[in-house]
Every structure is written in structure tokens, then in C-alpha cells.
Amino acid sequence: MAEARGRGFKELIRVEPALQRFFEALGETSRPVEQVPIMNALGRVLASDVKSKVDIPPFDRAAMDGYAVVAEDTFGSSSTNPLMFDIAGRVDIGGKAKVRGGRGRAVSIVTGAPIPPDTDAVIMLEYTRKPKELTVEILKAVTPGDNVSRKGEDVQKDSVILRRGTVLKPQDIGMLAGIGSTTVDVVLPPLVGVLSTGDELTQLGDALEQGKIYDVNRPVSLSLIREMGCIPMDLGICRDDPKAVATALREGLSKADVLLVSAGTSVGERDIVPSIVNSLGSPGVLVHGVAIRPAVPTGLAVIDGKPIVLLPGFPVAAMVAFDAFVKPLLNRLLGSEATPIPKVKARMLRRVPSHGGLRAYARVKVRRDGDNYVAEPLRVSGAGVISSMVKADGLLIIPEDKEGVEEGEVVEVILLRPVK
């Protein structure tokens, strides 16, 4: 790709074609697999389908406290016409049914206990009376299967209960425990290195000198990586020196599976990162300049099979680039589907202009208006204004072919925080 430094971007490529070019150059991205205890598997990505080796429940069991009976024996019973049954015994939870039912016999049973032989329904305790110690009156008819949880009703043996690529949630851990699994095969998460560049950057904890700023992009990117279930690797800050940047990039490529480089990616004379990346291997920078605002200077590269994403220097632009390009990349490496994003429909209180041909990310405040939501764009929303992301409740994505959003228009907003 031609050098853009000092000349400007020749073209801006849209997000989907940029990702396609990136992924095609990256090729096959299968990751190693590791086996972990299920108690350590929360948030991990399943490496293969999981089949149940057992039925759940493993036996027919009572779904209510009451009496196990032959349903046909209860036909015609009511509160005004109770039918009398002999109590044959009792079945408790956690043991075998050692007593049998049969015609005219009722077996006392608790929820979760196995259904005794020669019974096919449970009459709830509320619809019975005990006139004598070993006698019960049935006050309501039941049909076969009433108040019985059948073997395999929840999960059938040999059925697939969790699919490959599933990001494991607490309920999934419960399912694995329910089928007796102690371990599970998961994808080994990629190690993602994050390097910040810039003479103006200061490490957190150091005194802030005149003309310097604290590095924001690195902590944000490392946190986003961790949030996605990947392993962040802090590569620190590198000054704007070609040799220093090249050395830091080589070190990052030698250690990490993915490399994120912040700043030095635009078209100014000091934006040296793209040309240095091209010098490290092939195919090099595939995309430089994307049709997305505020992240136009984003670059995508592959060096000898390893992906590199060049993030803009302004914090908001870097976060937008992470959302548009790094998240799909990491999901691809993990073999997982994108995590569902909380969204709401909201009516815009003001017009939001947009540049034609660019996908725009507008930061908005969201609040309830009765049973509906309304959204208002933040008045201060520059690419370097980190407070705008803190103050925003959501993001409004305006497509490339849409020239803004009108006042009163109902739009879909991606929520960054719960709406108060």
C-alpha cells in the first residue's frame, strides 16, 4: 500500500470491505485448545460441542409434594365426591423408591423423589385429606403424567447441550455441572500486546511536565481486551523514534498473537508507524484510512501471519476503532460469536449531522420518557474528549449512506451504561 504520510489518504475504505481484506490476508485462525475445570471456565469460549452423557432428570420424579397414584383410579373424584386410597408407604428425595403403588394405592411422595413403580401421576397435597393414619382421600382427578417430571425431560442423553463458540455464562456452568462434567475444553485466548507511541505521553504515576499528557489509550485497550476474555500484554510507551518503534514492534510480534499500536498512524510527518510496520514483513499494511468517524486514521496490517491494528491517537477514536475492528478480530480468533449488545429504541431530541460516506459514531445521553426512551447528542464530542465517553449513555451509529439523523427520528442506540 502506498505511503500516505505527508500526502493525505488517497481513499477511505468502508468497514466491511476493510475487515474482509484484513481477514483474507490473515487466513485460517484456529487457536490451541486447553482443558480447564468448569469452575474456572466462566467467560471462556467452548472449543467443541458438548454432549450430555446422562439424562436430566435421570429418572421419573415428582414435580410436587403429594401422593403418587394410578391416574385412572382418580377419575370422577372431586371435593364433593372424594375417592378413598390406602397409603402404601412413603418415598423421600435422595433414595430409591422401595415401595410400589398399584390400583387403589397411594404413595406419599416429596418433590424430586423418584416415582414408585406402578404409578403414573402425582396428586398435589392440596387436593387430599387424611381421615385416618393409613388412608387418604383424593379430591381431584389427575391424568397420566400430571405433576411428574419425566426422565430426560430437561436434557436427553447424547444430545448437544452447548455449541462450539459459546461464551460460557453462569447458567452454562450449571448445565455442565448438571451432566456431571468436571472439566471442559476451551479455546486458548490470544495474547494481545498493546503499545503506545508518542513523545508527549507520560506513564501513570510520573509527574506531568509541561506539554505532556498521561497515556489513556493503553489502559483503555488493555481493559477492553480483558473484558473480551483475552489476555492483555502491556508493551509500554515508545517515543517517536523510528528505530525505537521498530524495536518495540519486533518485540511485540515475537511475544504476542495480536498487536495493537496506538498513535502515529495518521498522515502527518511524525506519523511513522505505518511505514515501519511495512518494513517488518509481508504483506504489511493492508488498510490505512477507513470511512469511519472519528477513527479515520485506523490501519490494518498482517506481518508474517500476525495481525496488527493501528489505532488512532485520540482516545475516543481509538475506542471506536477497537469496536469496529479489534472486537471482530478477537471474536474470529476465539471462534466465538459477537456478544449481544444491549440496545434501545429512542427518539432523537436534536438533529445529528453526519458526513456523507463516513460511518459516524455519535455519543448520546439517553433517558426514559414515560414508557419510551429519548436521546440527545452530547454537545462536546471531539475525538480527544474522553469525558464524552464517560458522560454518554450510548452510541448512535449513523450508516455511511445516511446524511445525519433528524430531530424526532426514532433510532437504535447501543447502550454503554444502564439508563437511569
What pLDDT digit, counting tens, does each position of 266-287 carry? 777 777 999 999 999 999 999 9
Are β-strands 359-369 and 394-398 bridged in parallel, bridged antiparallel, or unpaired? antiparallel
DSSP-derived letter for residue 167 is B
Per residue in 42-59, pLDDT tens? 999 999 999 999 999 999
Measured between alpha carbons, how far is 251 from 212 in angstroms, rounded to an integer? Answer: 26
Banded model confidence at residue 383, pLDDT cuts 50, 70, 90: low
Q: How far is the C-alpha of 157 from the C-alpha of 151, rounded, in Å?
A: 10
Assign 308 to helix, strand or coil.
strand
Q: Is the pLDDT of residue 385 over 80?
A: no
> Is the per-residue pLDDT at 6 higher than 50?
no
> Quick one: cell of 231?
489476555
Averaged pLDDT, 369-396? 84
* ∠ CA 5-8-14, rounded to 5°: 110
pLDDT tens profile 133-157: 899 999 999 999 999 999 999 999 9
| List of domains in the chain | 15-31+189-334 (3.40.980.10), 41-55+155-186 (3.90.105.10), 61-149 (2.170.190.11), 343-415 (2.40.340.10)
pLDDT digits (tens, 9 = 90+) for 388-418: 888 899 999 999 988 889 999 999 999 998 8
Three-class SS of residue 86? strand
Percent of the chain with pLDDT over 70: 97
pTM for the full predicted model: 0.85
Question: Is 419 or 340 the better-scoring residue by pLDDT?
Answer: 419
pLDDT score at 249: 96
Residues 306-324, mean pLDDT to the nearest whole number: 94
Spatial separation of the C-alpha atoms in residues 294 and 315, rounded to whole Å: 10
**Position 265 pLDDT exceeds 90:** no
Torsion of CA 218, 220, 226, 230, to 10 degrees: -60
User: What is residue 5's predicted lDDT score, i.e. its pLDDT?
Assistant: 53
Which helix H or strand E contains 333, and what residues bound it? helix 327-334
Q: Return the residue matching grid coordinates 414435580.
A: 63
pLDDT tens-digit readout, 178-237: 999 999 999 999 999 999 999 998 888 888 888 888 999 999 999 999 999 999 999 999
Residue 384 — pLDDT band, cuts 50, 70, 90?
Answer: low
Question: Mean of the pLDDT values across residues 69-75?
Answer: 96
Which pLDDT score, from 0 to 100, does residue 380 have?
63
- As a whole number, the mean pLDDT across the chain is 92
For the stretch 95-104, contacts whose Cβ atoms lie closer than 8 Å and that sit 24 or more positions apart, written own/partner, are: 101/68, 101/69, 101/70, 102/70, 103/70, 103/73, 104/73
Tell which wins on pLDDT, 270 or 300. 300
CA dihedral 146, 148, 152, 154 (to 10 degrees): 90
> For residue 287, which of 6, 19, 5 has the smallest C-alpha distance?
19
